[in-house]
A and B are shown apart, each in its own frame.
Chain A
Amino acid sequence: MMDVAHYMGVPLGLCMAPLLLGIINRTKAFFAGRNGSPLFQAYYDIWKLLRKDAVYSRTTTWIFRSAPVVGLGSVMIAMILVPVAGSSLFAFTGDLIFFAYCLGLMRFATVIAALDTGSSFEGMGASREVHFSTLAEPALLLGLAALAKLSGSFSLTGMFGGLSGSDWLASGPAIALIAFAVFVVFLAENARIPVDDPNTHLELTMIHEVMILDYSGPDLGIVLYAAALKLWVLGALIVNILICAADLSGFSGLIVFAGGMFILAVLVGIVESIMARLSLLKVPQLLVGAGAMSVLALILVMRFTS
């Protein structure tokens, strides 16, 4: 039994990732007093797009066409490294840095493809994306560093696999700080409110959405699917921090993990329902704040654990 569950993490993510979007949207609809779109709307959208033809702007080159595949590939590799219920398909010492730069490669592909279109909107979006991710990346890496120090392991699997309920008793504040910092990074990287608004139609206010304006058909489908996977991957980090995988394993672990992802999606929906977007001027403050929390967590961990 244990062995099957060991291999289930990645297929679970590949299948369930778009469902997170459905759960977020249903939560938002509930707060707005609407019925909302079907839970599986993201699947329908992706399936619809995959059957369409793509239209390419004449100013674009192969860079623009290759970016969606590069992005999808990078996020899938990142997914392999992230443990689900305490085990991942692949792990090595230092893979947390590899993980961060897989996501970095995905962003690089999107940004350079946006610049490739030569559109002023997409240029603005690219500039904002790069600006904000330079602030989000330290928050994520420092948070992971604190976890590495806490667990004594430099691979994601070792870090989360070693985390148990007793760690919460010993260094709860540090773990809570890390979870919060990663949650902020999660919202920023996935273009959610308060950093970005995934539902807006206003090009001038967009960050992520504006960079993919020129995509259509299967390319857009791939971009949307990769974005859903990214939501899943970064969400999995938070859930892993919070559920203490060491105490769970096998199928029960999988179920708890899936439940955690569900609650996370609902939480994102609630955040999006009760607050407005930040002004773009304030976003760096939020991200630097998240970075400060990671640093604080790292200091706490270094000072109070041996």
Chain B
Amino acid sequence: MKCFIDISNGETAKLSDVPQLSSNDFRKIIIDEVAQGSRLSALFGHLLPGGKVLIYAVLAQKETASLLLLSSPVDGKYPALTPDCEQAHLFEREIAEQYGVFPEGHPWLKPVRFPPAGRSVEDLFGLLPGNNQCGVMDYFKMAGEEIHEVAVGPVHAGIIEPGHFRFQCHGEIVHHLEISLGYQHRGIERALLGGPDKRSIHYAETLAGDTTVGHGLAYSRILESLSKCKVSARAQVIRGVAQELERIANHIGDLGALAGDIGFLPTMSYCGRIRGDVLNMTAVLCGNRFSRGLIRPGGVGFDIDAKCIENLLKKLETVRMESESAVDLLWTTPSVLARFEGVGQITSAVCSKLGLVGVAARACGEAMDVRQDFPYGIFRFSHIPLSTWSTGDVFARAFVRWLEVQRSIAFIREQLESLPDGDVMAPIGKLAPSRIAVSMREGWRGEICHVAITGENGKFVGYKVVDASFHNWFGLAYAMRQQQISDFPLCNKSFNLSYCGFDL
């Protein structure tokens, strides 16, 4: 008997082809695969018509560029994966919260998002419907003389999203940071069920507001693969350009914000403005600074002409020169390097154990990038060199961002200079029934994974979104161990994770 099926990124499989294993086999295969270097990209529950819960796992196997799918029916409880596979930690908490199944032996079972209760009985955490107030839970506690607790948020001083952080400190040293999110839970996954409809693409674009292109692309690919729609080469290029523009804008914004957190004014001010210039380039593409309306299933919503390309290339060159002079100050100012180096360090071993993705993982020296490992769209034909650094500290996360900015700029120039002809939109047909589709994209934070399950009528009966933030928040908590509490804002910014992308 086959234990899993493998598909490539952005492909689909017949639902009945996904093997249903016993809990023990399911657990063993995932643990073995992860031990051999695969990564748990998604682990989620799916409610079957009879009320039974089926747990699906998507494992990303880099060497073969394939995604392994397997599932296991669960009745009430199952042996938890987390004790032997740390990557499953948040996923299992999520499944427990959403479907009321109990992962036996989970060391850290707590709510993830505090969703509004749709149940009529006590849930796993002993909470009655309507009683699960966001943020009320059993926090980790430390005791001892001179141990003190600092709670930050969910209302913050800056204009950022809500999230609660609890530090267990001894003097200025952080022993443990607990991150409790869920304040932005909108129920998007549930809202997507029964789709796709007119609203679905807008939900997808706003899964994480700063990753419009990333999530838009992942969602679009789901529809395209399920309806066997072929996206034209021209549309693929425009999508690639939009995605890299999004990456540049956010990375430059982050570099500026990192400078701001340590009170280094020049880079902060200039990067803030340059980020605006890049967003304006996105507006040249589609009329919206955050790419809303650009990525559409079947292609892109807007075509570009020669004048627009010339305009973009000119602006790109300005951005390149200006960002170079602003960001280089970071690497040449000793007082900046003193703050960046050695702070919030994560080793590559911890990184792969926690299953970090994206910039945070590449900063630990992990050579992983969906654009390269599971190429999609334009990246099947045109590669962007991988940017990694080995130290795993704030400096590495900043420097990897800068490397990516430079490479994305070169990529965009190359693509715009050789834009193929053709239409930019292809019609989307009816979705194939009873299939499962997986689509991974490299958003600017890292890997984005969408999984859709269609019912017999070709409508979504299951939709799972995993933003890079879902993998990486725990990495931030880990990076803070034994660090100065005053370095938390800097560490936090070096990850710059999404709250709404996590809370969904």
Taking beta carbons and an 8 Å cutoff, which residues of A are in contact with B? 28, 31-34, 120-121, 123-124, 127, 193-194, 197, 199-205, 272-282
Contacts and interface: CB of A to CB of B under 8 A. Distances in A.
A124 B150 contact: yes
Contacts of A281: 484
Contacts of B36: none
Contacts of B335: 194, 275-278
B262 A276 contact: yes
B264 A276 contact: yes
5 contacts: A204-B486, A205-B489, A273-B266, A276-B335, A277-B335
Contacts of A204: 150, 152, 485-486, 488-489
A120 B149 contact: yes
Interface in B157-207: 157-158, 171-172
A121 B150 contact: yes
A146 B287 CA distance: 67
A32 B273 CA distance: 11
Contacts of B336: 276
B264 A275 contact: yes
B93 to A, nearest CB: 27
B259 A279 contact: no
A202 B266 contact: no
A200 B490 CA distance: 12
Contact of B157 (A31, A202, A280, A282): A202
Nearest to A269: B265
A201 B268 CA distance: 14
Given A193-B263, A279-B339, 11 more contacts: A120-B148, A124-B172, A201-B158, A202-B261, A203-B157, A205-B261, A273-B265, A275-B335, A276-B259, A276-B262, A279-B338
A34 B151 CA distance: 35
- Residue in B149, B150, B335, B486 with the greatest tally of chain A CB atoms within 10 Å: B486
B270 interface: yes
Contact of B265 (A31, A121, A202): A31
B269 interface: yes
B262 A33 contact: no
B26 to A, nearest CB: 42
A291 to B, nearest CB: 21
A282 B152 CA distance: 25
Which bracket fits the contact residues of B? 20 to 34
Interface in B263-289: 263-266, 268-270, 273
Contact of A276 (B273, B333, B485): B333
Nearest to B334: A275
B484 A280 contact: yes
Contacts of B261: 200, 202, 205
Contacts of A277: 262-264, 335, 339
B157 A201 contact: yes
B33 interface: no
A281 B265 CA distance: 21
Contacts of B150: 120-121, 124, 204
B487 interface: yes
A57 to B, nearest CB: 16
Contact of B151 (A28, A120, A200): A120
Contacts of A275: 264, 333, 335
Contacts of B266: 31-32, 273-274
Contacts of A34: 269
Interface of B: 148-152, 157-158, 171-172, 259, 261-266, 268-270, 273, 333, 335-336, 338-339, 343, 484-489
A222 B158 CA distance: 25
| Chain A contact surface mostly | loop
A200 B263 contact: yes
B399 to A, nearest CB: 16
A60 to B, nearest CB: 19
B503 to A, nearest CB: 23
Nearest to A192: B263
Contacts of B339: 276-279
Contacts of A200: 261, 263
B269 A32 contact: yes
Nearest to B490: A205
A306 to B, nearest CB: 42
A294 B269 CA distance: 36
Nearest to A121: B150
Given A202-B157, A276-B259, A282 B338 contact: yes
Given A204-B488, A280-B486, A32 B149 contact: no
B487 to A, nearest CB: 7
A294 B108 CA distance: 54
A273 B267 CA distance: 10
A276 B269 contact: no
B308 to A, nearest CB: 28
Contacts of A32: 265-266, 268-270
Contacts of B268: 32
Contacts of A282: 338
Nearest first, the 10 A-B pairs at minimum CB distance are A32-B269, A197-B263, A276-B264, A277-B263, A202-B489, A201-B157, A276-B262, A276-B335, A275-B335, A120-B150
- Residue in B265, B270, B339 with the greatest tally of chain A CB atoms within 10 Å: B265
Contacts of B269: 32-34
A195 to B, nearest CB: 10
Given A32-B269, A124-B150, A199 B157 contact: no
A28 B265 contact: yes
B494 to A, nearest CB: 14
- Residue in A33, A193, A202, A278 with the greatest tally of chain B CB atoms within 10 Å: A202
A67 to B, nearest CB: 22
Nearest to A277: B263
Nearest to B487: A279
B141 to A, nearest CB: 15
A300 B172 CA distance: 38
Nearest to B268: A32
Contacts of A123: 148
A122 B182 CA distance: 27
Contacts of A276: 259, 262-264, 333, 335-336, 338-339
A280 B483 CA distance: 12
Contacts of B152: 203-204
